């Protein structure tokens, strides 16, 4: 850490007695106006938010910055903070983050900062294309739902508010706070789009050695799908997974595994979906034969 380093937004005049202007320019990056951040924290969204509000103290937090200020964690990297200001305020171009002129409604004050409400903050995130990088096409709905699932795991009360707003109803109708990870959310949305709309997340199943929770499944037909990330492929994890699979099989469940390779290949996904439909047909036939 360099001598005289100031972690928060700073103007040169604040540190002029500690370093020359060339030195300041070497170690600090301009964020907005004459406000700078040290290069070590100049990409930190929270620090950028601080700088935007230092320049516009009456600014209103939007999007990710508003959600973060409400106490939510964000499951997307490198998010861009932005604030809004009144239309009669002179606009200074931001080099990092964004500043917009807007007439705000339903402003709330949280932790001493003015902010839009949670629903508007979610709308901001969902309707800003640059938030989604390569997921701007048809797969964007999967990422939207995964993002909302992440928020709902932190505050389930938000779900009804999102369902009641026409701007977020479509995404909220696919969301479920029981989903435990982004890949699990994406698998659920894909299955829903394939017509498997009744599948539930985190189904509790009693095995011989205790209870398990199946990532996604049909509790009536006892067919499930579980996402296996990279951490499942070391020796100890595979041994535990094998024991789990045996116990679920003993309990009458058929489990199919989804992997990252599967989720990134349309051909492999279609093949997987075909096999899954075959398992469902077989399970339905077996169930019908038992109750006939």
Answer yes or no: is pLDDT of 207 > 60.
Answer: yes
Q: So what's the pLDDT on residue 76? A: 81
Q: So what's the pLDDT on residue 232? A: 47
Axis crossing angle, helix 182-193 with helix 140-154, rounded to the nearest 10: 130
Mean pLDDT to the nearest integer, 181-205 = 91
What does the pLDDT look like over 125-150, one tens digit per residue?
Answer: 999 887 776 655 556 899 999 999 99
Backbone phi, then psi, for 71, in 5-degree steps?
105, 0
Going by their DSSP bridges, the two strands 98-101 and 82-85 should be labelled as: parallel
Q: Which of 258, 259, 260, 256 is nearest to 277 (CA)?
A: 256
Judged by phi (left if over 0) then psi (alpha if -120 to 50, else beta), residue 4 lies in left
| Inter-residue contact 283 to 221 (CB < 8 Å) | yes
| Inter-residue contact 116 to 66 (CB < 8 Å) | yes
Q: So what's the pLDDT on residue 223? A: 95
Q: Where are the domains of the chain?
A: 1-42, 56-169, 179-291
Answer yes or no: is pLDDT of 202 > 50.
Answer: yes
Q: So what's the pLDDT on residue 117? A: 96
| Inter-residue contact 262 to 268 (CB < 8 Å) | yes
What does the pLDDT look like over 219-264, one tens digit per residue?
Answer: 999 999 999 875 545 556 666 778 888 899 899 999 999 988 888 8
SS3 224: strand
> What is the C-alpha separation between 87 and 103, in angstroms, rounded?
7
CATH of domain 179-291: 3.40.960
- Higher pLDDT among residues 226 and 198, named by residue: 226
Mean pLDDT to the nearest integer, 19-37 = 95
What does the pLDDT look like over 78-130, one tens digit per residue?
Answer: 789 999 999 999 999 999 999 999 988 889 999 999 999 999 999 999 998 87
Q: So what's the pLDDT on residue 1? A: 39
Mean pLDDT computed over every residue of the chain: 89
């Amino acid at each position: 850490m360099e001598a005289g380093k100031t972690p928060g937004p700073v103007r040169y005049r604040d540190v002029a007695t500690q370093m020359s202007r060339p030195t300041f320019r070497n170690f600090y990056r301009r964020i907005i106006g004459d406000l700078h951040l040290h290069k070590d924290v100049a990409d930190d969204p929270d620090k950028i938010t601080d700088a935007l509000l230092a320049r516009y103290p009456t600014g209103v937090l939007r999007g990710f910055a508003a959600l973060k200020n409400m106490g939510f964690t964000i499951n997307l990297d490198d998010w861009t903070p932005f604030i809004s200001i009144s239309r009669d305020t002179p606009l200074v171009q931001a080099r990092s983050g964004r500043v917009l002129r807007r007439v705000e409604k339903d402003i709330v004050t949280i932790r001493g900062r003015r902010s839009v409400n949670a629903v508007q903050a979610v709308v901001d995130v969902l309707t800003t294309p640059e938030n989604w990088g390569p997921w701007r096409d048809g797969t964007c709905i999967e990422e939207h739902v995964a993002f909302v699932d992440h928020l709902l795991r932190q505050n389930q009360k938000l779900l009804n508010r999102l369902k009641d707003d026409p701007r977020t109803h479509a995404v909220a109708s696919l969301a479920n706070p029981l989903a435990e990870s982004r890949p699990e959310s994406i698998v659920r949305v894909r299955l829903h789009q394939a017509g498997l709309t009744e599948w539930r997340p985190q189904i509790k199943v009693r095995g011989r050695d205790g209870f398990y929770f199946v990532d996604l499944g049909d509790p009536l037909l006892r067919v499930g799908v579980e996402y296996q990330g990279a951490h499942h492929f070391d020796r100890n994890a595979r041994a535990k997974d094998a024991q789990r699979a045996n116990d679920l099989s003993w309990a009458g469940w058929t489990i199919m595994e989804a992997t990252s390779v599967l989720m990134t290949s349309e051909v492999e996904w279609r093949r997987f979906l075909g096999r899954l439909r075959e398992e469902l047909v077989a399970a339905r036939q077996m169930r019908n034969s038992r109750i006939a």
